[in-house]
Amino acid sequence: MGLLKSSMAKQMPEDQLQAVENAVGRYPNGATFQEIAELLARSLPRRTLQYRLKHLVNANRLVAEGQGRWTKYRLAAKMIGQRLAREPEELSLPLSKAAVATREYLRQPTQSRKPVGYNREFLDSYRPNVTAYLTSAERAHLKTVGTPNIAAQPAGTYARQILDRLLIDLSWNSSRLEGNTYSLLDTRRLIEFGQEPEGGKRLEAQMILNHKDAIAFLVDAADDIGFNRYTILNLHALLANNLLTSQAATGRLRRIAVGIESSTFYPLEVPQLIEECFDQILATATAIEDPFEQALFVMVHFPYLQPFDDVNKRVSRLAANISFIKRNLSPLSFAEVPRHLYTDAVLGVYELNRIELLKEVFIWAYERSSARYAAVRQSLGEPDPFRLKHHTALRQAVSEIIRGCMGRRAAAAQLAAWVQANVAPDERERFREMAESELLGLHEGNYARYEIRPAEFAAWQAVWATGAT
């Protein structure tokens, strides 16, 4: 009987096994038998699915946790690695008929497509919590896959736990969608060590570093950010820094006409109308209660309005993460999203006011991002609650010492005074030990989280290394 079972397993088609894996992969925290069955063909017999799940567990491709009806299945670590290692352009995304129709329309040459202007009714007709781009089932699914298995924490806690990975992933993928040619490894070296590749383009390096600064801004200001002018204008200023012809245009609404390459769409040109629509988008987004609907709404309407001279899509991609950062949901890094597909999705909004393709890209990308960060979070273990509580205070205390270019003795005196003034008596000793350990462990690969410039760190390190006071 054992030999017979082994022979049957070998004959099982790989595509059927991968279909089960794909279903399980949509639930990074584990999927029940029923959840898996609902994502697969309705005609699949229960016993057949049970057999496939058992085979995948025995092959160490899935992990089963719990017993009986409470059993949950999740991807084994090696399978997560294999799925995430695929190149973006090689992946296929199943599309609905409406999304396919959008792509077919856009395959026509621009001279065959209808010239269109900004349609104010597209924005006016949206009613928060009444109109919905995502169905209730889609929102529930995204909440399931995007909610990490952690206790309730202050805003931004989850993003801080995975910040080192998020800075690289989101900076690279958002830049890649703009045509940036940096590799993932080059991006990591630039962000972590400030190293530009030989022959690298300065504009591309600037784009990536701007993303890093903008993401850090959103995470560090998690309590204060929202769909308001302060957040979005500053987000644009960070993303556009040193990239626009006029530096004065960073963080400022558009006052000039712009064109869209390879498109028949002509954005608004009247500054007063741009400002009106911009404020309406912010008010509408703020009123939306569901974080996933909120994120998709700004991904649709910020690029469509083109409120800034340039960098509008980048603003929309990072702004989509505001809801997720504030509510400790998995962030959206756009990992593996094919550039040509994303471009078509945005053009579909511009020229047809159709959101189906962008919505399907959004859902698919969020599923993959959630799986990625569930795996990253799992590898990190439980965070130190004391360090989480004093995250902001630690950053302030350490950065003051570095910016003050203090040697060891001066740093000790400064830290003692700072702790006395800012930390509760029963926590001072532990906080001081934590800060001292942090100072001793700083090196060129980990100081960026303190928002210290390379020149500042180099100057401080020169003094610190000599043991000077």
What is the percentage of the chain residues whose pLDDT exceeds 70?
Answer: 90
pLDDT in tens, 389-407: 888 888 888 989 999 998 8
Which amino acid does the sequence have at 243?
L
pLDDT band at 377 (very low <50, low <70, confident <90, very high): low
Q: What are phi and psi of 172, to 5 degrees?
A: -70, -50
Query: From CA 239, how far away is CA 296, in angstroms rounded?
Result: 20
Burial class of residue 382 in the structure, from the number of CB atoms within 10 Å of its CB (0-12 exposed, 13-18 middle, 19+ buried): exposed
Q: Are 235 and 315 in contact (CB under 8 A)?
A: yes
Tens digits of per-residue pLDDT, 105-141? 998 988 899 999 999 999 999 999 999 999 999 999 9
215-242 residue pLDDT tens: 999 999 999 999 999 999 999 999 999 9
Task: For residues 151-171, give the mean pLDDT.
Answer: 89
Distance, CA of 406 to CA of 408 (rounded, Å): 7
> Range with the lowest mean pLDDT among 245-259, 350-364, 376-390, 423-437?
376-390
Locate the domains of the chain by residue range: 2-84, 89-380, 385-466
The average pLDDT across 14-36 equals 78
Residue given tokens 């962030």 in the structure block: 331
d(CA 452, CA 116): 46
295 has pLDDT over 90: yes
CB 108 within 8 A of CB 63: no
State the amino acid at position 245 in one-letter form: T
Within 10 Å of residue 392's Cβ, how many Cβ atoms? 12
Which of 61-65, 203-207, 301-305 comes out lowest in average pLDDT? Answer: 61-65
Q: What pLDDT score was predicted for residue 171? A: 97
**N-term to C-term CA, the chain:** 77
**Phi (first) and psi of residue 32, to 5 degrees:** -80, 165
Mean pLDDT over residues 361-375, rounded? 91
pLDDT tens digits for range 440-462: 778 776 777 787 888 888 888 88
Tell me the C-alpha distance between 469 and 466, whole Å.
Answer: 9
Structure tokens at 456: 């500042």
Number of Cβ within a 10 Å radius of residue 289: 8
Instruction: Report the pLDDT value the prediction gives residue 13, as an integer from 0 to 100.
Output: 72
pLDDT (average), residues 399-416: 88
Q: What is the DSSP string of 215-233?
A: HHHHHHTTTT-SSSHHHHH
Query: Architecture of domain 89-380 in CATH?
Result: Orthogonal Bundle (1.10)
CATH fold, domain 2-84, is Arc Repressor Mutant, subunit A (1.10.10)
Per the model's pLDDT, the better-predicted residue between 60 and 175 turns out to be 175
Strand, helix or coil for residue 70: helix
**88 vs 86: CA distance, rounded Å:** 6
What single string gives the DSSP state of each residue in 380-394?
A: H----HHHHHTHHHH
- Regarding beta strands 62-65 and 31-32, do their DSSP bridges make them parallel or antiparallel, or are they unpaired? unpaired
Residue at 47: amino acid letter: R
